[in-house]
Amino acid sequence: MLVLAAPPSYADEAAFKPLLIEPAKTLTDRCRNGIVAHRIEKWHKRDHLGVPQPSSFDSVEKIMRDMAPEAIGRLEDNGCDPRYLWGFIGCTALDDPNFKSEKIVSRGVTADTDEEMAVIMKTCIDGIANAGVSPAL
């Protein structure tokens, strides 16, 4: 059986709990829970760091792991729709207020708390669903 569940430490947080489908009965439920859990983990580990640490990009392997995380590859390998996965990741990406570029236009999406991030994630889930993209192939 395919297991794509949120780590308990993230799934139990009140702000994010409504985003997860429990119990996850279908592949669609498991795909949605898997990408949400991955995004919560990234939110807690990296998003709060602000500017990426220089050591994060000291090798090609680290760059590739950052650009194409193993968790997303596993979800794709297990039948989750890449359009949903990457659409959700792109939609929930936050602007770094310290990043300045003339070529990249800020989207103005920011979050300082779990509650704010949960609202962004819910909005993205709804938007992707309204576009007719399902979490599973």
Q: What is the pLDDT of residues 86-129, one digit of tens each?
A: 999 999 988 877 777 777 777 778 888 999 999 999 999 999 99
Residue 136: phi and psi, rounded to 5, are -110, 150
pTM exceeding 0.75:
yes
The domain of 67 spans 13-50+59-95+108-131
In a domain, 8, yes or no: no
CA angle 98, 104, 109 (to 5 degrees): 60
Number of domains the chain is built from: 1
Q: How confident is the model at residue 47 (pLDDT cuts 50, 70, 90)?
A: low
pLDDT confidence of residue 130 = 97
- The pair of structure tokens assigned to 61 is 């392997």
In a domain, 32, yes or no: yes
pLDDT confidence of residue 2 = 45
